[in-house]
Amino acid sequence: MSQSSVAKEPGPQGEESPVDSPTSPDEKKKREYKEFGHDEEKPTHANVDMSLIELKAEDLYDKEKVDLETIVIDDVFKLLQCDENGLDAEEAQRRIELFGPNKLEQEEQNAFLQFLSFMWNPLSWVMEGAALVAIVLSNGNGQPPDWEDFIGIVLLLFINSAIGFYEERNAGNAVKALMDSLAPKAKVKRNGTWSEIESAGLVPGDMISFKIGDIVPADCRLTESINVSIDQAALTGESLPQSKKLGDQCFSGSTCKQGEAEGVVISTGANTFFGRAASLVGQDDDTTGHLQKILAQIGSFCLVSIGIFVLAEILVLYAGFRYSYRRGLNNILVLLIGGIPIAMPTVLSVTLAVGAQQLAKHKAIVTRITAIEELAGVTILCSDKTGTLTTNKLTIDKATIRTYGPFSADDVMLLAAYASRTENQDAIDSAVVQALGDVTRARAGVKLLDFKPFNPVDKRTEITYREESSGKLKRVTKGMTGIIIELCTRNKTEELENRLEADVEEFATRGLRALAVAYEELDGQDPEGEGNGFELIGLLAIFDPPREDTKQTIDDALALGVKVKMVTGDQLAIAKETGRRLGLGDHMYPAKVLKDGPAPGSKHLSLDEMILDADGFAGVFPEHKYEIVKRLQGLGHLCAMTGDGANDAPALSRANVGIAVEGATDAARGAADIVLTEPGLSTIVHAIRGSRVIFQRMRNYSIYACAVTIRIVVCFAILAFAFKFDFPPFMVLIIALLNDGTIMTLSVDRVLPSMTPDSWDLAEIFSFAVAYGIYLTASTVALVSIIMKTSFFYDKFGVTFQDGSKTPLGANDYQLHMIVYLQVAIISQALIFVTRSHGFFFMERPSAALMGAFCIAQLVSSIIAAYANFGFTQIQPISGGWIGIVWVWNIVWFAPLDWIKFAMKATVIKKLRQRRDAAQAEQVTAGIPITRTQSRAASIHESLYSNRVSFIRRAARKVGFGSKVTMKPEELQRFSSIQAQRTGATLARNPSRTAAA
C-alpha cells in the first residue's frame, strides 16, 4: 500500500483526480490508481557479523547496523538459523518450547477460583459474616454454637455458587467449542517435504506456502511470489487487496486473493502484528462492568437498609429491652439472613447464562455474559464497514457503466469478462466475471489464443481470442484508466477524453473505482500481430456492495431506538456512497476532525457534539475508533462496536459491547463480547431483542429482591420492637432457600422486550421496592396484631393454639412462629407476579417453569407448616384451619398490590421520570456531557461484584492503554524487521544444535 492510501485524505475530489491540477487528463487518471502500487526501495544488508548475531535490545533500532525497513531476505535466513528446505521435526519441537504455539493466548480460568468468585462480593460477605456469627459469636448464655444456622447459611452459599458456576461454565465451554472448531491449517515444509499441520504448530524459521483463498497462518517474509495479491482488510480496513513481491511481509490473518507464495515465518502467536493488537485488548482497565455497577448500587441499598435496622435493634433490644446476648444475636441474625438478597448475583448470572444459550440459537455466541445486559441498553452501534456492513467482495455496479463506442453496456461487460481470468482469479477478475450472472459466458463462443494477466507494472489484463462465429481475431484489454487511454489510438478525441475525465471524477466523488475497457480487431490470423488500434469502449465502476440484509438490519436497529454510525478505514467518498445506499445518511467526516475538532464557523460547537451528530467517520485508524467509542461513552451512551479485523480489537474491547462478525480474526474474536457465526448484522437485531427480554427479567427480579429485603428487615424489626417477637433464624433460611429455587426460573420467564433502549433507573426500582416492602410488612404486622390482641380467628373460624387456647401463650408461641413463617413465605413469593408485569398480573402469563416452581414452593411451605416439628428451632405444626386462614389472608392482601403499582406509576414514578427528563434536557441545552465522577473507593466497591476473578487479574496486569496500533506501511515494514531481529536474538541465546553445520 502506498502512503497515499494510508493517509486516506477524504473528500469528494481525492488524489485520483484533482480538478485544479494543471497536468493532463492522462496524468490525472494515472494518479487515481497510484495508491494501489508500492514505493520501490533498494534492499540493504545487516551491517553486522551475521555469524555472531549477538544483537542486544538497544541495537534493534540502530540503522548503522541493520536497516530494519529494508533488511534483505538472506539476512533473515541467517538471523533465524534456517534455510529454504525448512526445519527438521526436532528443531521445530525445540522452537515450539522456545516461542510457544502460534495462536493467541487465552486466559484459562481456574475452576476453583471461578467457583469461589461467586462468594466474593459484599452481599456474600454479609452472609459469610452471619455464618461466623452463628458458629463463633453464638457461644453465649451457656448454649452451644448455632450449628443448624451455620450449616444452613453455608449450604445456601454453596447452592448459589454451584448454580452460577455451572451455568457460566456451560456458556464458556460453548464458546471454547466454537473457537476450537475454527482452528486453521497451514502448509509447511519440514525435513525438506511439504505437509499440512495445524497453524498453531508453526514456529519462526518454518517455510510455509499459501495460494489463492488461503489465510496467511503467521507473519512471514516472502521467498517466492507468483502474481500474489493479499487482502489485508482485516488489518487496515481497506477494501482492495495489495500486491506483494519477493521480500515483502504478509501478516497473519490476511487472505491470499491471487497467486501463490512461499515464505519464511518470522513471528508467531502473540508476537505477530495481530498478536500485538490483541495484546492491547483488555489492558484498558479503568472501567468496571456496567452490571457490576448496578449490582453494587442495589447491594448498597440492601446493605444500608439492613444496617439501619440492625443498629436500631442493637440499641432497642440491648439498651432498651435488656435482652440477653444470645437472644439479641438471634434477632440480628434474622435480619442478616433474611434481608440479604444472597441469590442476586447468582440469579442474574443464571439469567444471563440461559440468555446466552438462547442467543446461541440465533448464531450469536456470547463470550462475556454480562454484555447481554449492556446490549439491552445500547443506544449507539458503531459499525465497521468492510466485511461488516458490506460483503468485502468487489462487485461491478451495472447501473453506472459508461459506454463510449458502438457497444452497449451488456457488450462492454461481456468483453471485460473476456479479458478476465476464469480460474485462479484476482478480486477484480472475479467481480467482472460474476457480474455476467452466468460465468460460462466469459469463454462461450470464443477461443482463447493469448492472455496477459494483471501485473503491477502494466496495470492491465489483455486477451487475444478468435470469435468462433466469424473466425476473426480480436483483442480486449481492461485496467487502470490512465494506462488504457494511453493505449487507445482509434476514435480518440478531446471530447472523448473530457467525457472520460468527467466520468472518472464522478466515480471518485462516489467512492467508486474506475476500470476502463478497450477493444481492437486483428487483420490476419497471427495472435501476436498488430491490431487496428485500441478503441475505448466503456468504463466500469467497482465497489464493495452492502450485504443484502444490512439495510433492513439498520432500519430494525433504528426502530429499536439504536442509532447506527459507520466507522471505516476506507476513504470518505466510499463511506458516503455506502451510507447513501444503506440509508444511513452521508453526514460523515474524515478522521482528522477527531484531532483538529470542528472547523471554525461550523454548526458544531464541540467535537463531542460533532461525533454525536455524525452518521460516520472515514479514514480511521484503531486509535480513532477507540477514541470515538470512548467519547460516546463519556457522553453517557452505552456503545456497541462491530468489527472483523485485528484493527478493530482495541475499540471492541473498549466498547460496552464488542461484536465480532462472522469470519472475524482471532484478535477480534478475542476482544469481542459477542461472536457472530452467520454473515451480516441481522443477528444483532435478534441479540438486541433477546437482550431486552433478559433485561426485563433482571429488572423484575431486582425490584422483587429489594422489596423482600425491605419487607424482611422492617417487618421483623417492628415485630421485635412492638411485641418482643423472636423469630427463629433457621426458618428465615428456609424462606430464603425456597425463594431462591423459585426465582431461578425467572431466567426463562415469558416477558415482552422494550422498543427503546433499557436502562437501570434505580430510583424507580427502589421506590417500587419500598412501597411493596412496607405494604407486605403491614400485612404481617396486622395479622400478628389481630392474633395477639383479639380472639377474632377463634370466634369466626374456631381455630386454637396449644392446649385449646384462643390466643397464643405469648409473643414467642411456637405455633405463632409457624403462622408468621407461612404468611411471610407465601405472600413474599407471590410478589414476583406483580413485579414481572406492567399491567394487572393476570394479564401477562408467566412461564410454565415459574408457575410450577411457585406451586411446588408453596406446597412445601404448607407441608412444613402442617408437619414440621424441628427440635432445634422454635416452631410447632399448626392445624389445617390456620393454614387456610393464612392463605385467605394472603390472597386478600395480594389483590391490591397491582393498584399500589399503578398508584406509584401515577405519582412517584411519574415525578421521577419528569425530573430525569428535565435534567437530561438541561444538560443537552447547556452542552454538558453526561459524565459521572466517582472515587477510587467507589470503583473498587463496584468491582467486587464481578462474577469472575477479575479482581485478581486486574492486580496482575495494571497496564494502561499505552501504545497504539499504527497502520503506516513503513511502520509495518519496520515492525516486521524488529520481529525477525527479536526472534533471531532469542535463537542466538538458544543456539540450534544444527546451526554449526
What residues are annotated to the active site?
384
Interaxial angle between packed helices 729-743 and 848-867, expressed in degrees from 0 to 180 and rounded to the nearest 10: 160
Query: Are the C-beta atoms of 555 and 539 separated by less than 8 Å?
Result: no
684 and 641 Cβ atoms separated by less than 8 Å: no
Give the count of beta carbons closer than 10 Å to the beta carbon of residue 154: 15
Strand runs labelled E in 586-666: 588-590, 616-618, 639-643, 657-660
Distance, CA of 85 to CA of 50 (rounded, Å):
20
**Do 677 and 365 contact (CB within 8 A), yes or no?**
yes
CB of 405 within 8 A of CB of 593?
no
Q: Which residues pair with 984 in a beta bridge?
A: none
- Burial of 26 from C-beta contacts in 10 A (0-12 / 13-18 / 19+): middle
Query: Residues in the chain, how many?
Result: 997
The DSSP annotation for 431-456 comes to: HHHHTTSSGGGGTTTEEEEEEE---T
Write down the H helix ranges in 251-365.
273-280, 290-313, 325-339, 344-360
End-to-end CA distance of the chain: 40
Dist CA 708 CA 701 (whole Å): 10
* Grid cell listed for 925: 441545552
**Dihedral sign from CA coordinates of 663, 669, 671, 672:** positive
Amino acid at 810: G
Cα dihedral across residues 99, 100, 103, 106: positive or negative: negative
* Alpha-carbon distance values, 140 to 81, 329, 330, 331 (Å): 76, 10, 11, 14
Cβ atoms of residues 727 and 817 within 8 Å: yes
Distances (CA, A) of 307 to 120, 313, 333, 714: 20, 10, 12, 11
676-704 per-residue burial string, b: 16 or more CB within 10 A, e: under 16: bbebbbbbbbbbbbbbbbbbbbbbbbbbb
Tell me phi and psi for residue 133, to 5 degrees: -60, -45
3-state SS assignment for residue 588:
strand
Pairing mode of beta strands 616-618, 535-543 = unpaired
Under 8 Å between Cβ of 514 and 31: no
Residue type, 401: I
**E strands within 498-622?**
513-522, 535-543, 563-567, 588-590, 616-618
CA distance 852 to 860: 12
Segment holding 225, helix H or strand E: strand 219-231
Of 135, 132, 131, 134, nearest to 154 (Cα)? Answer: 131
Burial degree of 942 (CB within 10 A; 0-12, 13-18, 19+): buried
Q: Report the Cα 526 to chain-centroid distance in Å.
A: 61
